[in-house]
Amino acid sequence: MRPIRDLAIIGGGIGGVSSAIYAKRAGLDFLFFESNAVGGQLLFMENVDNYVGLEIGIRGQDFAKKLEKNLKDLRIDVCQEEIVKVEEKTAKVEVHSGSSSYEAKGLIVATGASPLKLAIPGEDGFVGKGVSYCAICDGFFFKDKEVVVVGGGNTAVEEALYLAQLARKVTLIHRKNHLRALQYLQAKLFQKDNIEVIFESVVKELKGKEFLEGLILENTQTHQRHTLPTSGLFIAVGVKPNTEIVKNIVSTDEKGFIITDNEMRTSSNCIWACGDCRLRPLRQLITAASEGALATLSAYKYLKGHYIST
């Protein structure tokens, strides 16, 4: 086991990066873990148009590069190890990757969330063969084809708008009779000539041989079914938190989101959480960044004895 550190931060999205920056400026001895690329959900966003101080429409990947540069400029090293297990000990935590173990007096969980699946017949078998959870990642493969997006929130509408630049036609499927997306996004959506919206419908099954060829849709009111031919299905129906490594250590809600107080403290004395893995009213980049700062400042107060945890 290596020497005990002040703090460990797991997750390289904007919340985790914010935590790391504040930990560096606070003079803490910390480790920052991200097994993939820095940026988190930014890597899957075409544009960001609501982050204060940045140019409207900045590409998500370009924003992620800015975060990487922040880390480099501050000489913050990224430990590219996947943390697979966390153990709470007396006044400390142990975090374990596949090959190494580390000890820290405090832990910030910034592990984000992953797309939910539809959990329907054929879904798993067609992943990478017509089924995708990221239009930016896979949209290019469906240039001039007909594709379907499932969902009714901001992400689903943004995916449909992005795909409309590549595909011949995009069909948006939503189970309700209205979308949840922000009005300005809906306005853009309904202005597109090559986007059709089908309300009050759900996808029940996927069909095809080697690759996806069509969907079976069911009307939620009449329960009538019909087949919709398509080459691609992009699923945007929500997210699940990446909290498996701490689910038996800290309190979560029924969906697995970590419950914290206003200072990002969890039910554990030495664990904090921020970003999309946390139960929060607004899942936005700007709120994740602020939560990352709060989590580190709260951890700093704990480490320096400025408050007594209950």
Give buried/exposed letters for 191-219 (b at 16+ CB in 10 A, else e).
eeeebebebebbbebbbbeeebebbbbbe
pLDDT tens-place string over residues 204-238: 999 999 999 999 999 999 999 999 999 999 999 99
203/185 Cα distance (integer angstroms):
23
Question: What's 125's DSSP letter?
Answer: G
pLDDT of 51 above 80:
yes
Lookup: tokens for 137: 């990642």
Given the structure tokens 């940045």, which residue do they identify? 54
The set of residues, in sequence order, having a beta carbon less than 8 Å from that of 81 and lying 6+ positions away, is: 33, 35, 97, 98, 99, 100
Is the model more confident about 34 or about 1? 34
291/269 Cα distance (integer angstroms):
18
Q: Which residues are catalytic?
A: 134, 137-138
- What is the pLDDT, as a whole number, of residue 18? 98
The set of residues, in sequence order, having a beta carbon less than 8 Å from that of 19 and lying 6+ positions away, is: 9, 108, 110, 274, 292, 293, 295, 296
Contact 96, 86 (CB under 8 A): yes
pLDDT tens-place string over residues 138-150: 999 999 999 999 9
Question: What's 27's DSSP letter?
Answer: T
- What is the pLDDT, as a whole number, of residue 296? 98
For residue 101, count other CB atoms closer than 10 A to its CB: 12
pLDDT tens-place string over residues 78-119: 999 999 999 999 989 999 998 899 999 999 999 999 999 999
**What mean pLDDT is predicted for residues 238-249?**
94
The set of residues, in sequence order, having a beta carbon less than 8 Å from that of 117 and lying 6+ positions away, is: 123, 124, 235
238/252 Cα distance (integer angstroms):
18
The CA distances from residue 49 to 94, 142, 283, 292, in Å, are 39, 25, 15, 21
231/208 Cα distance (integer angstroms):
10
